Structure 1
């Protein structure tokens, strides 16, 4: 007995009328999609507390200082990440709303964020 897929919802993946690939978020052609721009401009919802921790998972034992919960858009988060990396004299990255700074610089980061007016908590051990 064969089953049919009529019960499942289908989404348009490609259309010759729309000019090629279609964005799954808004349904507009990929050339006219504005979903990513809207996501970049959106400020992440947080509880107002910035959490600073130290992690080594997935980094072959190398530790990084992780800053989570900063209520800034992507441009502001990138600028803050650059300030923190400069203050620590270390490298790092900003991805998915999280600032990662190479090495254990928790005390320096907490002091810098407190000077900038953020409410900071030390998370983890």
Structure 2
């Protein structure tokens, strides 16, 4: 049974479709922009290796870079080329395929970042 406090309009004859989260028209909705905004880091770049959810394949993760999406993608391209590996950028985190923690830490330190190794 649905309660009155749980229901929200999804369409208005005046403005068309409404955002299910904030109730504003889709043209005025700012929910997606707020969701994309990454929290400001503490200035420390954290490098770790992870296999969880990847069927045993290891990837090296770089978190905490306070860069916009274009700069993050460009840095990821340089780091992947330095390691000779593939990878991607997801939600502000650079993922490089394989175990390249030491290489990435050296590159990021040389670029002037404060770097910490996280996990084993």
Same fold (TM over 0.5): yes
1:13 corresponds to: 10
CA offset digits 1:55-77 (Å, max 9, x no partner): 01111110000111111122222
Query: Offset at 1:108?
Result: 1.0
**Are residues 1:101 and 2:96 paired?**
yes
Query: Offset at 1:13?
Result: 2.0
Query: Offset at 1:85?
Result: 1.1
Q: Matches of 1:35 and 1:112 in 2, distance apart?
A: 36
Aligned residues of 1:65 and 1:102 also touching (Cα < 8 A)? yes
**Structure 1 unaligned spans of 5+:** none
1:121 corresponds to: 116
**Structure 2 unaligned spans of 5+:** none
- Runs of 4+ residues deviating >6 angstroms: none
SS in 2 for 1:94: strand
TM-score (normalised: structure 1): 0.79
SS in 1 for 2:103: helix
Q: Matches of 2:68 and 2:80 in 1, distance apart?
A: 18
2:85 corresponds to: 90
Q: Matches of 2:89 and 2:9 in 1, distance apart?
A: 33
Aligned residues of 2:63 and 2:92 also touching (Cα < 8 A)? yes
Query: Offset at 1:119?
Result: 0.3
- Measured on the aligned residues, the alpha-carbon RMSD in Å equals 2.3
SS in 1 for 2:105: helix
Aligned residues of 1:43 and 1:73 also touching (Cα < 8 A)? no
